[in-house]
Structure 1
């Protein structure tokens, strides 16, 4: 089962996983230009959802990974894919960057 984490609860989830977390932004380049998350106690890596299988080796399966998209559907699919490929500490950021803007950082534009 994939953990479902609200943007406001991300720090607590990462801490519970041992820290050194990664937010994996799976949105497309135009979406990243519209709005992006600033690293704050975690690293942010952007790999579009469709590129994840080919670029899986770029990610560390031992590191906690929280997946992010626009509203949470694509990131859920990526989180499931990662879990099926040996990633043990995976979460979906519920509501995506839209919820991030509403709940965690209002400076992040909504689109």
Structure 2
């Protein structure tokens, strides 16, 4: 089962999983979405790889590192998290509610779309 974390608990998840390597925040939205609203949380490397290109770019991800997956509302990120788990990634979390929830819970100045 994929761990669900809220935007306001992402920082704690990153800290708790740092023992497995530098955490990654994997944003699987499309480039146009990144331009509308994007985040760079402290304590994680941000990788922006659109969902549809994940299988082709899988080698860019280290299965040993913790990965928190983010999208607009949490649906695409959940699909990617399940895919990564099937590929042998062991420290995976889905950011429930996505960037939209981030705007509501963490940073109200972040545009909602």
Give the TM-score category using the shorter length. over 0.9
User: Are 1:69 and 2:71 an aligned pair?
Assistant: yes
Uncovered stretches (5+) of structure 1, i.e. residues with no partner: none
Gaps of 5+ in 2: none
SS at the partner of 1:50? Answer: helix
- The counterpart of 1:58, out of the listed 57, 60, 67, is 60
Structure 1 residues 10-55: Cα deviation after superposition (integer angstroms, max 9, x where no partner): 1111222125211100000110111001231111100000000000
Higher alpha-carbon deviation: 35-44 or 67-76? 35-44
Q: Separation in 2 of the partners of 1:43 and 1:15?
A: 13
Q: Which runs of 4+ in 1 moved over 6 A?
A: none
CA displacement 1:61-86 (0-9 Å, x = unmatched): 11000000000000000000000001
Q: Counterparts in 2 of 1:1-111, with a 5 A limit?
A: 1-18=1-18, 20-111=22-113
**What's the CA shift for 1:95?**
0.2
Using structure 2 for the length normalisation, give the TM-score.
0.94
Give the TM-score normalised by the residue count of structure 1. 0.96
Choose 12-21 or 93-102, whichever is displaced more. Answer: 12-21
How many residues align? The count is 111
